[in-house]
Structure 1
Amino acid sequence: MEKINEIIYSLVNQGIIKSDNTDLTKLKSGTTNGILYTLHNNEIPEYVIKIDQPKITTTTVDFLLCQFVA
């Protein structure tokens, strides 16, 4: 839980997210060894945060970006 708190703190400090009314839900994932969280703002899911090995996370980002471009 310490790592996710560091990530949230960093996102707030960078102005990416606001700290008020922010909730986290840990997700169960059958397709990754990483840890997934959904970040809700005012009970609305806004982001998914994935903690995993850098190579795996980079591959996931590339895949998701291709989905939005196609």
Structure 2
Amino acid sequence: MSLRAFHIVFITVSTLLFVFLSVWAFALAPERTATITTLGVISIISALVMPTYGVYFYRKARKIII
């Protein structure tokens, strides 16, 4: 597996983990504290930013020829 492919897989797995963390924070957490709510908000933001970064990286990496 190339470094580019690993990077794309890592971005995908990270995005899925952020989605799971946000679902846990808002739906499955036993208590709703300020820390858990903050964690959920940060996870939602990260889950939206990671695919954007993935598209940016894919477009940039496609131009690199090694």
TM, length-normalised to structure 2: 0.28
Higher relative contact order (CA 8 A, sep 6+): 2
TM, length-normalised to structure 1: 0.27
Higher helix share: 2
